[in-house]
Amino acid sequence: MSKELKKVVLAYSGGLDTSIILEWLQETYKCDVVTFTADLGQREELDIAFNKAKAAGIKEIFVRDLREEFASDFVFPMFRANTLYEGEYLLGTSIARPLIAKHLVEIAEECNADAISHGATGKGNDQIRFELGAYALSPDIKIIAPWREWDLLSREKLMKYAQSRNIKVDFMDQGKKSPYSMDANLLHVSYEGDNLEDPWSEPVDQMWRWTCSPEKAPDSSIEIILSYEKGDIVAINGEFMSPASVMETLNKIAGSHGIGRSDIVENRYIGMKSRGCYETPAGTVMLKAHRAIESITLDKETAHMKDELMPKYAEMVYNGFWWSPEREALQSLIDTTQANVSGEVRVKLYKGNVIITGRKSEKSSLFDTKIATFDDDAGAYDQKDASGFIKLNSLRLRLWSRNQRKKH
């Protein structure tokens, strides 16, 4: 890429990587840097990032509260699909990247910047997610990925670079070993690196931030009632809340009961395996509760079709194709299935467990007690009807069996 750039918009957290990138961009490209810090519910003081950028001489600083947009336009649509990647990962990092890419592009246009930049490494998925999103929204955008250009390829080298240029970062003054590589938002906290690079090494309890260990969780359970409208939670225990407030509330309640920890080795899009630990308290409850309300409001074939499509949807999100036409088409289908997914789910939380204890829908329930009962149904269902159904479905099996018997 040509180094004749005048202005670059950087996705900036104020942490180790982006603090160094801020300095590196100015040194390498001799350009002005615009910082963009997003509040996605990571529970950090955004003033810290603002003040760090200001102290570094940055003149254009953008700090945006994106919690509601993140929850309503990204997390909630994803949970309508009951999305899990490789059966375990709730995609907390993946789903945030297209939103950040969207605002990077918007700010670049607003500031008349030449390029955007991010702190994702050349080994990870985030570089792909950021850049696919940016190109989908602005086809001619220029992107600078420092990890693919510089030689600061370890945490230790980054720390030395920071010390040599008097860049203030966490852990530097104390001389401690490099921290975990972390990401946080309303949906999760993720941890990579350090002892986690050995997939046999158990995470230390001090690492976790949002959840207590199930062993130390309260000895008494708690029950909550979640109200749904068209597939989304709109109230907790009868109190109506915004999407972001729903997630913040569930994170606190579920986290205090030891819910949401996971330790996964996943297959990255670029080909390698990676071990990560995640805390997703709200998401863990949301996934199970959503399946519960769907269990009484969705037609069987519709529900099964969703289950078949979900892995493909999860791959799109994980691999960075949120802004693709195929994801948008699939989202339209999923959203259509949610028209009647309304009602209430009662959930018990106890020592790391999410237990569904009830579900109901006054308007949309397909559960017919007259037919499902084991008692006398007063003729609501004629059990003799099952004979023809079984005969039809057994025909191919009987034909196959007869053919096999002839061979012997």
Asked whether the beta carbons of 236 and 224 are under 8 A apart, the reply is yes
Active site residue 39: no
What's the half-sphere exposure (Cβ side, CA atoms, 13 Å) at 246?
A: 24
Active site residue 97: yes
**CA pair distance 159, 178, nearest whole angstrom:** 8
Tell me which of 13, 19, 138, 181 is the catalytic residue. 181
Three-state helix/strand/coil letters over the chain = CCCCCCEEEEECCCCHHHHHHHHHHHHHHCCEEEEEEEECCCCCCHHHHHHHHHHCCCCCEEEEECHHHHHHHHHHHHHHCCCCECCCECCCCHHHHHHHHHHHHHHHHHHCCCEEECCCCCCCCHHHHHHHHHHHHCCCCEEECHHHCCCCCCHHHHHHHHHHCCCCCCCCCCCCCCCCEEEECCCCEEEECHHHHCCCCCCCHHHCCCCCCHHHCCCCCEEEEEEEECCEEEEECCEECCHHHHHHHHHHHHHCCCCCEEEEEEECCCCCEEEEEEECHHHHHHHHHHHHHHHHHCCHHHHHHHHHHHHHHHHHHHHCCCCCHHHHHHHHHHHHHCCCCCEEEEEEEECCEEEEEEEECCCCCCCCHHHHCCCCCCCCCCCCHHHHHHHHHHHHHHHHHHHHHHHC
Tell me which of 67, 80, 97, 359 is the catalytic residue. 97
Tell me which of 17, 114, 183, 232 is the catalytic residue. 17
Active site residue 47: no
Tell me which of 32, 114, 126, 183 is the catalytic residue. 126
Instruction: Write out the catalytic residue numbers.
Output: 17, 97, 126, 181
